Structure 1
Amino acid sequence: MPTLETLPFDNAFARLPDAFYTRLPPTPLPDPYLVAASPAAAALIQLDPAEFTRPEFAQIFAGNQLLPGSEPLAAVYSGHQFGMWAGQLGDGRAHLLGEVAGAGSGWEIQLKGAGQTPYSRFADGRAVLRSSIREFLCSEAMAALGIPTTRALCVVGSNKPVRRETIETAAVVTRLAPSFIRFGSFEHWAARKHTDELRQLADYVIDRFRPECRDAANPYAALLADVARRTASLMAQWQTVGFMHGVMNTDNMSILGLTLDYGPFGFMDTFDAGHICNHSDDHGRYSYRAQPQIGHWNLYALGHALSSLVGERADVQAAIEDNYTATFEATFMARVRAKLGLADALPGDEDFVGETFGVLQRLRIDFTQFFRLLSSLPAEVNEAERAATDAPLRDIVIDRFALDAWIDLWRARLKAEGRPDAERQAAMRAVNPKYVLRNWIAESAIRAAQAGDFSETTTVLACLSKPFDEQPEFERFAAPPPDWAGSLSVSCSS
């Protein structure tokens, strides 16, 4: 396995013309220390986890020492933020070190919080320990859930003060992804009517990540269609684990269909389709129920940017409309059927799924607990024993009558398949996580880390790396939020 000094860099993005980025080193961070690191992320670049213990590790991933072969740079992009054109943005606090060979086409290594760049827009270019731990834990938690995402190798902290709402301490989170190119990367060149750069970037994405598009009659339309399908699938996966991104601006949307830029995210506790996880989102643009629609809106922003390459407006529309809605609906229904233990698609399933989410809304039931507890219920029950059999689920709601009525419908639907309980329950537990990164869990790790105890971050990471397993030693993380969590809020500064 390679060491830090022998990581095999091959920096494809850095071979694009200088217009796409600014080359500059990270800004050193005083007295860095390792907060946490992910062995699973290290395995992607074949890095031995034993390297975590070396004193050089914190220095390197604070940005104080450069890895041999790295070519640090900050990329330029633009984008729509909360539906409004924001103009030029870019990596205002991120430095791309380069690309390391690994699984797939390779993994770019990026330091987030490593100092100012030409795109910082008067900001300090730093991240804080709070937001860095949140991104680190959620990146790895989403990967363990099987949801496409950027990854996080480590968090390095420092006692350097950083002002946000209050004075906090600085940190750098090291992110991995095949590419950090965004919808806004294309919007940038389209807004400037720089068709040559737009085409060059599209060709880079096609040739490096989507070579099958090159064989299409219109490779750029094929690329847009591919992004539409992947984005639709991602939205469906978010919805079916109760994940809310919180700030789905076009500069936070991955061209590869990855979950990108973890900030004011949240996993659903008490179900509310209108829940807004981002305290900065005054009008609920990025509420839970709005995410599929916003994914669709963002694709039209991308389609507009690519229109000079794709061709007629009708071609742009076809690339999106022929792929987005059908993919979202098929993926969403398949995943919800699996969560409900349904192996077959039968007429009337759409109505039943609608009824299921209606019950979740009426009962304001805990989203993750509901599906996990449902996974253990039998398909048939003696009426005399029903109260005891269904007690784990009934005990988390007030209106048991409404829940019982829905369970009757569910059992009737299961009867149409006749699937053995043991087989069905095992399949349900494999798709209904027991553990997700609830805000209170992240907050408990953050508070401990701010007090100098990083063990809780490592403990949470260990738990979330196996979200579908029972893990009795981590039972406390499966509980609903404690009372003190009611005052928690996250915003764009998160």
Structure 2
Amino acid sequence: MRFKQDFFEQLPEFYSQVWPAGLPNPRWLCWSPEAASLIGLQQPDDALLKGLAGNEEIPGASYYAQVYSGHQFGGYSPRLGDGRSIILGEALGPNGAWDVALKGAGPTPYSRHGDGRAVLRSAVREFLVSEALFHLGIPTTRALAVIGSELPVWRETLESGAITVRLARSHIRFGHFEYFCYSERGAKDKLLQLLNFTLAQHYPHLSQDMAGYRAWFFEVVRDTARMIAHWQAVGFAHGVMNTDNMSILGDSFDFGPFAFLDTFKEDFICNHSDPEGRYAFGQQPGVALWNLQRLAQALTPVLASDDLLAALNTYQDELVQAYLALMRAKLGWGADGSDEQDQRDLTLIGEFTQLLEANRLDYTQSFRRFAALDPNDPKPALRDDMINLQGFDAWYQSYRDRVGQPADLAQWQRQRAGTNPKYILRNYLAQEAIAAAEQGDNQPLQQLFELLKKPFDEQPDKEDYAKRPPDWGQGLIMSCSS
């Protein structure tokens, strides 16, 4: 790997240097060739394994943990930071630079009495979801590899330690700006320093002045809204949308108790630490806006409130338009650009998800049905899944009126197959792969990873992966330590 160290060299007050604790007897559990190509790597080898496990120094790496704060479940925590992640620097690749971070590499000054470790199940889950979201076309950080070890780590029970090697376009979060607004003297100078660095690194088309800062915040609002639209369209619940888990670039970030929907539930909660459902699936659009408002508050020393409010006021329209574009693609609708059509389409989409919930249907399977649907058929296969036939028939007639007759049915169906995945990372599939890896068998993990790289393909020999979960795996709720 070839590194540059812009964050490390230009923002010395924004991190602490720290060395990885290392892993005893590390071993590759899974490796992403696609992610590796981003930073010019080919095949994994023993030297790289020792370096990414934290056992040997990697030439050119700097090793540091960033400091930031954040709102966690609505309450402000003034000092958080990378408690179990150590950044090596920005690795140079064919098309740019990517931060390389070792998540689970040991304690840092921000570990808050924790051990700074990740366990195998959490490392595997982060690896799988990072790559799964990418192949679904959703903005996300990436995962280069997951490394296992014999290190004993105590969570609810005794488990083994592991590291996820994360690649990110940036690790700058909403919480960085909050920290340097509320926790430091000279907040404006620090915020301007961070803001200018962010623009220089990631928004080079914008000027480093008030006009550029205003335009930047509009882009942050837009990119966040589009990320949330993707989550809602594919049925993804993040589970812990604290402001310190929100990427300034609108990339899905810092996965913990995530889940893809099985049976559709608007109020689905995937995090057992969230009994009140603050981060339930249906709450995600509102939470993202709330988080953007917290970011706007932190920016008031450098941006006028009217400018911040103007950007925030674009959030709903950005979200709705992005969501409508994705859902229209899933359902086979065009758009005429009118507000009236937008509202009618939102109503039809909402009625369909209500049917899914009332009939206890699987979200992914139900949308995949449109890949084989003929709008001329008055009783499509999707109808066979319904209990409330009268309700479905009424909705389906409105749907047929909306979609019309495709000029080329086969092409129309191929387009639906290309926007409605057949395979998603269901929690029970991840759990089965984790259980095997804990016993030393990495083959199920590798098979699941390969499957998730082609979520829209039929893959006839993988039909079992598309089935609804067994009873034990339906709607699994995870902990933050997972």
Match of 1:92 in 2: 83
Match of 2:443 in 1: 455
Code of the aligned partner of 1:127: A
Deviation of the 1:276 alpha carbon? 0.7
Code of the aligned partner of 1:185: H
Match of 1:406 in 2: 395
Code of the aligned partner of 2:77: A
Q: 1:422 aligns with which of 397, 407, 410?
A: 410
3-state SS of the aligned residue for 2:122? helix
3-state SS of the aligned residue for 1:338? helix
| 1:491 corresponds to 2:479 | yes
Deviation of the 1:396 alpha carbon? 3.4
Match of 1:342 in 2: 333
Cα distance in 2 between the residues matched to 1:185 and 1:115? 22
Unaligned runs of 5+ in 2: none
Match of 2:215 in 1: 222
Match of 1:276 in 2: 269
Deviation of the 1:451 alpha carbon? 1.0
CA contact (8 A) 2:143 2:167 kept: yes
Cα distance in 1 between the residues matched to 2:169 and 2:474? 37
Match of 1:3 in 2: none
Cα distance in 2 between the residues matched to 1:217 and 1:204? 15
Deviation of the 1:408 alpha carbon? 2.4
Cα distance in 2 between the residues matched to 1:138 and 1:271? 19
Code of the aligned partner of 1:199: L
CA contact (8 A) 2:69 2:178 kept: yes
Match of 1:176 in 2: 167
Aligned in 2, Cα 1:300/1:143: closer, same or farther, shift over 3 Å?
same
1:405-462 CA-to-partner distances (Å, cap 9, x unmatched) read 32222222122x6442112111111110001101011111111111110111111110
3-state SS of the aligned residue for 2:164? strand
CA contact (8 A) 2:406 2:412 kept: no
CA contact (8 A) 2:38 2:95 kept: no
Q: 1:287 aligns with which of 280, 283, 288?
A: 280
CA contact (8 A) 1:341 1:375 kept: no
Q: 1:242 aligns with which of 209, 220, 235?
A: 235
Unaligned runs of 5+ in 1: 1-6
CA contact (8 A) 1:216 1:222 kept: no
Match of 1:445 in 2: 433
Aligned in 2, Cα 1:259/1:11: closer, same or farther, shift over 3 Å?
same
Match of 1:128 in 2: 119
Q: Which moved more, 1:253-262 or 1:418-427?
A: 418-427
Code of the aligned partner of 2:100: I
Cα distance in 1 between the residues matched to 2:399 and 2:359? 16
3-state SS of the aligned residue for 1:229? helix
Code of the aligned partner of 1:14: F
Code of the aligned partner of 1:140: E
Code of the aligned partner of 1:380: N
Code of the aligned partner of 1:378: D
Match of 1:476 in 2: 464
Cα distance in 1 between the residues matched to 2:359 and 2:104? 41
Deviation of the 1:404 alpha carbon? 3.2
Deviation of the 1:483 alpha carbon? 1.9
CA contact (8 A) 2:270 2:476 kept: no
Q: 2:367 aligns with which of 335, 349, 371?
A: 371
Match of 1:12 in 2: 6
Deviation of the 1:486 alpha carbon? 3.9
Q: 2:97 aligns with which of 100, 106, 119?
A: 106
Q: 1:28 aligns with which of 22, 32, 35?
A: 22
Code of the aligned partner of 2:460: P
3-state SS of the aligned residue for 1:141? helix
Deviation of the 1:181 alpha carbon? 0.6
Aligned in 2, Cα 1:486/1:364: closer, same or farther, shift over 3 Å?
closer
Deviation of the 1:281 alpha carbon? 0.4
Deviation of the 1:59 alpha carbon? 1.3
Deviation of the 1:484 alpha carbon? 2.3
CA contact (8 A) 1:267 1:436 kept: yes
3-state SS of the aligned residue for 2:93? coil
1:22-46 CA-to-partner distances (Å, cap 9, x unmatched) read 1121112111111111111111112
Code of the aligned partner of 1:412: D
Cα distance in 1 between the residues matched to 2:471 and 2:287? 32
Code of the aligned partner of 2:402: R
Code of the aligned partner of 1:467: P
CA contact (8 A) 2:263 2:475 kept: no
Cα distance in 1 between the residues matched to 2:209 and 2:392? 50
Deviation of the 1:103 alpha carbon? 4.7
CA contact (8 A) 2:262 2:475 kept: no
1:256-301 CA-to-partner distances (Å, cap 9, x unmatched) read 1100001000001111101111111011000111100000000011
Match of 2:352 in 1: 356
Deviation of the 1:216 alpha carbon? 7.0
3-state SS of the aligned residue for 1:106? strand
Aligned in 2, Cα 1:214/1:137: closer, same or farther, shift over 3 Å?
same
Aligned in 2, Cα 1:452/1:487: closer, same or farther, shift over 3 Å?
farther
Percent same amino acid among aligned pairs? Answer: 45
1:11-67 CA-to-partner distances (Å, cap 9, x unmatched) read 11111232100112111211111111111111111211x2x2x22232121111121
Q: Which moved more, 1:359-368 or 1:480-489?
A: 480-489
Cα distance in 2 between the residues matched to 1:46 and 1:429? 32
Structure 1 segment 125-274 matched on structure 2, within 5 A = 125-192=116-183, 193=185, 194-214=187-207, 218-274=211-267
Match of 2:310 in 1: 318
1:322-346 CA-to-partner distances (Å, cap 9, x unmatched) read x211110100111111110112347
CA contact (8 A) 2:210 2:303 kept: no
TM-score normalised per structure 1:
0.93
Cα distance in 1 between the residues matched to 2:252 and 2:401? 37
Cα distance in 2 between the residues matched to 1:106 and 1:343? 37
Code of the aligned partner of 2:432: S
CA contact (8 A) 2:199 2:208 kept: no
Code of the aligned partner of 2:164: V
Match of 2:38 in 1: 44
Q: How large is the RMSD of aligned CA atoms in angstroms?
A: 1.5
3-state SS of the aligned residue for 1:307? coil
Q: Which moved more, 1:355-364 or 1:160-169?
A: 355-364
Moved over 6 A (4+): none
TM-score normalised per structure 2:
0.96
